Amino acid sequence: MLLVAGTNAEGTGAASELLTDPARLREELLHRGINPVGRVQKLELLLRVQYQGMDSRSYQVIASRVVAR
């Protein structure tokens, strides 16, 4: 199961961008010591979204948490 949510449409859009960019997602997982081909039961990523104009934004992962079963 995959749940993607933001506090607004831009936040949800940024999360969707991360999840659909395999190279960026792999980099973020490796940076946190998570095997990108392994299995993670529950992973939470907190993104900071910065607006740069009406249709432009950037984001960065600022926190993560893996919850063991």
| Statement: residue 52 has pLDDT above 80 | no
Mean pLDDT, residues 13-35: 91
- What is the residue-wise DSSP string for 44-55? EEEEEEEE-SSS
- What is the residue-wise DSSP string for 11-57? HHHHHHHHHT-HHHHHHHHHHTT--TTS--S-EEEEEEEEE-SSS-E
Position 55 confidence tier, pLDDT thresholds 50, 70, 90: low
Average pLDDT, the chain: 85
Confirm if 29 and 35 have CB atoms less than 8 A apart.
Answer: yes
d(CA 49, CA 36): 23
Model pTM above 0.75: yes
